[in-house]
Chains A and B, each alone.
Chain A
């Protein structure tokens, strides 16, 4: 029970850890993707702004280079370079305008495009003057119109850079916030995992401790019970021995009576010791019960006849009914006998005031309804068992508080022993009970493969055995 509980706890911890691990990994992945995206956008943005700045300068630089030569061929080459750079600038401005999301970005993109067009108009005139050979006109035009127009472009470019810096700072802040969230989440998850693990370990430890304590308690109860069971016959024995030793017993009849008492009590002690030894030996009892084919009727007749004295002393009335044509069962004669003696002994012990005890043997489906089994049910009409106690009655040394209160003697080993023996033979014991109405304990035994039967219908009418 405890180990099942522990496995469940371990499963919960493992599942929780796996889920939490998944969440943590996902979180880290998201943060990583976000960082990469931020880096990519930053690098790309800076690269594009740098290229734009370079091409704007290149447009002007190439124009001014044309001033430095009087070779028309070279001047045409510089004009070409200026126009190529100008085309790249216009493309970059268009791309910036397309990608701009904020109204401020769109506005500055449009202003930059307009200012660039104004500068280009001046640039074209300057180039024409240079190519015509009017250097003075070209310089004058550039100083009067080109420089102011280019300054406007430069200011626009500064605004673009400023907006980019703002955007990058915003993204940086968002990334930092995201990172903080991730760390907080991670710490929370670690705390939760630690808490869950601690609870699991604490539960496992507690269940282990409670199991140990329970075992120790049962052992103490067992020792007390055994001591009590031993003390009663021992007291009788000592008392009888004292009387004989003190010469208080005179006459043959008295001596015979005392002898019978001594023999009975000695047997009681012997039986108790045998039961304890048997329980100890059935700890691993698989190999102790060699299977054999047994005929139920004959076997039950032998067992019933062995309980004659018990029935007589208890005043119980045994009603045995065995269905005809029952197949041979697979079991061990000694084992079945020990089981049945325990079940019948319990029926007598807990039968209360109603002396009737019924034994029924019949064919019935097995646990899963696939194979048939022979069931031997022992029914009493006594005190019954509380439903809450039924799961525990097969535990070793368990004795119901109600039974202890009623001062019904026992070791708490009988049912546990019977269950172990039945299972060692491939069978099992089932129970149905109703408080104050009685209980039925059933020994279920597997049948032989051939389904051999022996035509026999043993029916014993209610009679004291």
Chain B
């Protein structure tokens, strides 16, 4: 009898443990699924519509966003437009293009401006609309937008000969 009771208790504890374990597993699955199901959105490099540039390499982008290159081939001065620090799009550019974090980026520009290696620091705008309008007004401006924020007032350029919707496009916002 005693052994029977013990067996039943053991079985009950085991069952409870299994149920608890199953519930925890189920909850973890629910959280993870949306992250796995939402594909990252392309981050589009945009310039003024009057700018003749159609294609930029990753190296070009890096030299432009880091201020090493100040002029376009047509002689227009390059003006880089960034989003506010902390924005996802800015993080992607800093990480994927510049290979820096926020602090390194700031330090790089402080040093460059101080030494005269860099002529102007990037312009910072609060919203995608602001970025778009800035680029529309300034012929030498270059910036980045989520694909959903792009409209005909700006021109989309290829990166390493790939358009944002092409397979293999590297710049994506989670």
Contact = CB atoms under 8 A, between A and B. Distances in A.
Interface string B81-101: 100000000000000000000
A445 interface: no
A240 B56 CA distance: 162
B125 A127 contact: no
B172 interface: no
A465 B136 CA distance: 135
Interface string A69-101: 000110010011000000000000000000000
A72 B130 contact: yes
A131 interface: yes
A76 B124 contact: no
Interface centre among B79, B124, B138, B140 (most CB of A within 10 A): B138
A167 interface: no
Contacts of A128: 137-140
A133 interface: yes
Given A72-B130, A72-B134, A127-B137, A132 B77 contact: yes
Interface in A344-393: none
Nearest to A83: B137
A150 B126 CA distance: 33
Interface in A127-144: 127-128, 131-134
Interface string A115-137: 00000000010011001111000
Contacts of A124: 137
A131 B126 contact: no
B125 A132 contact: no
Contact of A131 (B124, B127, B138): B138
Contacts of A133: 79, 120, 123
Contacts of B79: 131-133
Interface in B17-59: none
A132 B77 CA distance: 9
A132 B120 contact: yes
Contacts of A132: 77, 79, 120, 138, 140-141
B125 A73 contact: yes
Contacts of B111: none
B123 A131 contact: yes
B130 A73 contact: yes
Interface residues on B, range: 10 to 19
Interface string B110-148: 000000000010011111001001100111110000000
A76 B77 CA distance: 18
Interface of A is mostly: helix
Contact of A79 (B123, B124, B137, B140): B137
B137 A72 contact: no
Contacts of A80: 133
Nearest to B132: A76
A127 B48 CA distance: 14
A441 to B, nearest CB: 112
Given A128-B138, A128-B139, A131-B79, A76 B120 contact: no
A350 B71 CA distance: 139
Contacts of A134: 77
Given A73-B130, A76-B130, A131 B125 contact: no
A10 to B, nearest CB: 82
Nearest to B127: A73
Contact of A76 (B137, B139, B140): B137
A133 B120 CA distance: 8
Contacts of B120: 132-133
Given A132-B79, A132-B120, A72 B140 contact: no
Nearest to A82: B137
B64 to A, nearest CB: 15
A134 B138 CA distance: 11
Contacts of A79: 133, 137
A258 to B, nearest CB: 145
A146 to B, nearest CB: 16
Contacts of B127: 73
Contacts of A127: 137
A72 B125 contact: yes
A72 B77 contact: no
B124 A72 contact: yes
A133 B113 CA distance: 14
Nearest to B81: A72
Nearest to B84: A73
B70 to A, nearest CB: 11
A76 B138 CA distance: 10
Nearest to B129: A76
Nearest to B121: A133
A64 to B, nearest CB: 15
Nearest to B140: A132
Contacts of B124: 72
B44 to A, nearest CB: 19
Given A72-B130, A76-B133, A79-B137, 7 more contacts: A73-B126, A76-B125, A76-B130, A131-B134, A131-B137, A132-B120, A132-B138
5 contacts: A72-B125, A124-B137, A128-B137, A132-B138, A133-B79
Interface of B: 77, 79, 81, 120, 123-127, 130, 133-134, 137-141
Those 5 A-B pairs whose CB atoms lie nearest each other, nearest first: A72-B123, A76-B133, A128-B138, A131-B138, A132-B79
